[in-house]
């Protein structure tokens, strides 16, 4: 079996089993561990699979996102560690953007003592929490309301962002990988996020590792379009190596 045929066979096996170990693949294909690892690397480079400890799984298409309330319960220690690291970039008198999402909400406690800070956001929960701090100038973008995400999206939001100069944009993502970048299943989110990346002096992708290897229909940006990616240290080493090979700054943090 030539390499292309063998790799197609691996994909078919994964469609049936979802996750396979290296040992299982060597047995099924009657090839060496080294051959299997080369095949997995080639498929991973094409964005078709994701390496896991001791094996491999299919890259997962994200067709919809969980509700805001559901997401708020997920990966809380990782989100806190990510925002604690990202929050160190914020200085007094900055204008920052907090993208809608439960990771951004975890950054709020780190902002409340800042002097002269302006926070722009499309997240209604961020607005609700910061409303109690008159020392922070607070701006909501407006736009079409996404009830599931507790946020504003669409062209109106993008038009507003075209008028704002932002020192740092903290951008959320429901799915990301090296091949496809930051993606989303929601077309309405794309236009505002892309406008934000054009207007921000610096953009930081704040996203936990459980979303790595998933992808949505619509691309927001390639990973190299971000100045920095902050994620947790459970990101597979192979993924971290690939990201850094693209000269993307990557900071890995340890969850509590």
Q: Which CATH number do you get for residue 26? A: 1.10.10.10
CA dihedral in degrees (224, 101, 91, 253; nearest 10)? -60
| pLDDT above 70: percentage of residues in the chain | 96
Which residue, 37, 60, 83, sits at the end of a domain?
60
19 shares its domain with 115: no
Residue 102 belongs to domain with CATH number: 3.40.50.1360
124 shares its domain with 25: no
Domain carrying residue 171: 68-253
Integer Cα distance of 140 and 124 in angstroms: 8
32 shares its domain with 145: no
Among 82-91, 177-186, 196-205, name the one with the lowest average pLDDT: 177-186
Please state the domain count of the chain.
2
Given a cut of 70, whether residue 62 has pLDDT beyond it is no
Q: Are 225 and 203 in contact (CB under 8 A)?
A: yes
14 shares its domain with 123: no
164 shares its domain with 123: yes
pLDDT (mean) for 131-149: 94
148 shares its domain with 225: yes
The predicted structure's pLDDT at residue 229: 98
115 shares its domain with 139: yes
53 shares its domain with 79: no
Pull the structure tokens for residue 18: 């979802």
From residue 147, alpha-carbon distances to 65, 67, 100, 153, 161 in Å are 12, 9, 12, 10, 20
The torsion region of residue 213 among left (phi > 0), alpha (psi -120 to 50) and beta comes to: left
The predicted structure's pLDDT at residue 15: 77
Burial 180-204 (b: 16+ CB within 10 A, else e): bbbbbbbebbbbbbebbbebbeebb
50 shares its domain with 150: no
Integer Cα distance of 112 and 213 in angstroms: 34
The predicted structure's pLDDT at residue 143: 96
Among 37-46, 168-177, 244-253, name the one with the lowest average pLDDT: 37-46
84 shares its domain with 51: no
pTM tops 0.85: no
């Amino acid at each position: 079996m030539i390499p292309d045929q063998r790799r197609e066979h691996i994909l078919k096996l994964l469609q049936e089993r979802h996750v396979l170990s290296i040992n299982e693949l060597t047995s099924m294909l009657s090839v060496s561990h080294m051959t299997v690892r080369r095949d997995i690397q080639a498929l991973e480079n094409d964005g078709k699979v994701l390496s896991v400890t001791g094996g491999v799984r299919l890259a997962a298409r994200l067709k919809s996102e969980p509700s805001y309330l559901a997401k708020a319960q997920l990966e809380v220690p990782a989100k806190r560690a990510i925002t604690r690291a990202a929050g160190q970039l914020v200085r007094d008198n900055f204008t920052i953007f907090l993208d809608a999402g439960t990771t951004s909400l975890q950054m709020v406690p780190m902002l409340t003592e800042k002097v002269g800070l302006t926070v722009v956001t499309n997240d209604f929960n961020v607005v609700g929490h910061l409303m109690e701090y008159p020392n922070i100038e607070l701006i909501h973008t407006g736009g079409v309301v996404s009830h599931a995400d507790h946020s504003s999206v669409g062209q109106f939001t993008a038009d507003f962002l075209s008028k704002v100069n932002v020192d740092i944009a903290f951008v959320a993502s429901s799915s990301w990988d090296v091949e496809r970048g930051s993606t989303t299943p929601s077309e309405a989110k794309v236009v505002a996020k892309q406008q934000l990346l054009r207007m921000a002096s610096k953009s930081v992708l704040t996203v936990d590792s459980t979303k790595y290897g998933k992808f949505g229909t619509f691309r927001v940006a390639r990973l190299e379009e971000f100045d920095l990616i902050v994620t947790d240290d459970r990101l597979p080493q192979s993924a971290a190596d690939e990201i850094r090979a693209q000269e993307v700054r990557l900071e890995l943090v340890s969850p509590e």
